[in-house]
Each structure stands twice: as structure tokens, then as C-alpha cells.
Structure 1
Amino acid sequence: MAVLTVDVVSADSQIWSGEAEMVVARTSEGEIGILPGHEPLLAILASGEVRVTQSGGRKIVANAEDGFLSVENNQVTIVARQAELAN
């Protein structure tokens, strides 16, 4: 089964990196869900939660403020002005 490689970074540090089954984030156009095989995408990240679901159902939640989200070849990169893990 395909997985996503996810990097969540803020302006000054890496917040979380790993493999995931799904990523949900808030963009300027609304909330978006990313699964393996998603079309390439570049979106403006709005303030809100970034939810990462790993295999086995473990969830990682980060609070992110402004930035961008990029998806290409099962690689999800979230760059936020400010971000921190919520859990």
C-alpha cells in the first residue's frame, strides 16, 4: 500500500516528519484531505490544525499559522510561519 511522506516545518524548525496514510489541513479554499496518489498541488495554508493519520490510526495534530502546502509524488510538505504539535 502506498504511503505519504510528510514534513511539517515552521520558519525556524522542523515540527514533525514521517510516513502517513492521510493528511488533513486548512487552506485558503477550505479544508483538504490528502491521500496517497493525490494530484500535485500547491495551496496557501490557512491558520488551523494539520491532522496526520499514521498507519494503525495514530494521529499527530499540529497547530499551524499561515504558509503553504505542497503535494507531489506522495510527498506532502507543509511550511508554516508558526507551528507546534498539539499533542
Structure 2
Amino acid sequence: MAALNVSVVSADREIWSGEASMVVARTVEGQIGILPGHEPMLAVLATGEVRVTLPSGEKVAANADDGFLSVQSNVVQIVASRASLS
């Protein structure tokens, strides 16, 4: 199964990056789940938790403020004005 290549960055540094099997984030239009093969998209990120499920099943969570989320060819980029690991 393909994996997602995920990066979570804040305005001043990278918070987390690596492979994942799923990403769940809150956008201004509601919560979204992203799996490998997701259609390309760009969304406005709302303040909330970003949950990343690793291929091993382990979970990583980050608190993110406003920003953007993009998906393109199994690459998920989350850019927030402020973010930190939970």
C-alpha cells in the first residue's frame, strides 16, 4: 500500500515530517481525512488538532493554528501560522 509523505510546519520551523497512512485535519469547511491516492486539493486550515497515523499504527498529534493544507501525489503539506506537537 502506498504511503503519504507528510510535513507539518509552522511559520518558523518544521514540526514533524515522515510517512503516514492517514491524516485528519480541521479546515474552515469541516474535518477532512486524507488517505493515499487522495485527489489533489488545497484547503484553508482552521485552528485545531492535526492527527497523523503512521504505517505502524502509531499516532502523532499536533495543535495547529490557521494556515493551509495541500495534497498532491500522496504529499500532504500542512503550513500553519503556529503549530506544536501535542
The normalised TM-score by structure 2 is 0.99
The C-alpha deviation readout for 1:21-80, integer Å capped at 9, x for no partner, is 000000000000000000000000000000000012100000000000000000000000
Could you say what secondary structure the match of 2:47 adopts?
strand
Please list every run of 5 or more consecutive structure 1 residues that lacks an aligned counterpart in the other structure: none
The equivalent residue for 1:9 is 9
Letter in 2 for 1:34: I
1:10-49 matches, cutoff 5 A = 10-49=10-49
The equivalent residue for 1:54 is 54
Could you say what secondary structure the match of 2:67 adopts?
strand
Letter in 1 for 2:59: K
Residues of 2 paired with 1:44 and 1:7: CA distance?
16
| Aligned structure 1 segments of 4 or more residues deviating by more than 2 angstroms | none
The equivalent residue for 1:84 is 84
Letter in 2 for 1:46: A
Aligned length: 86
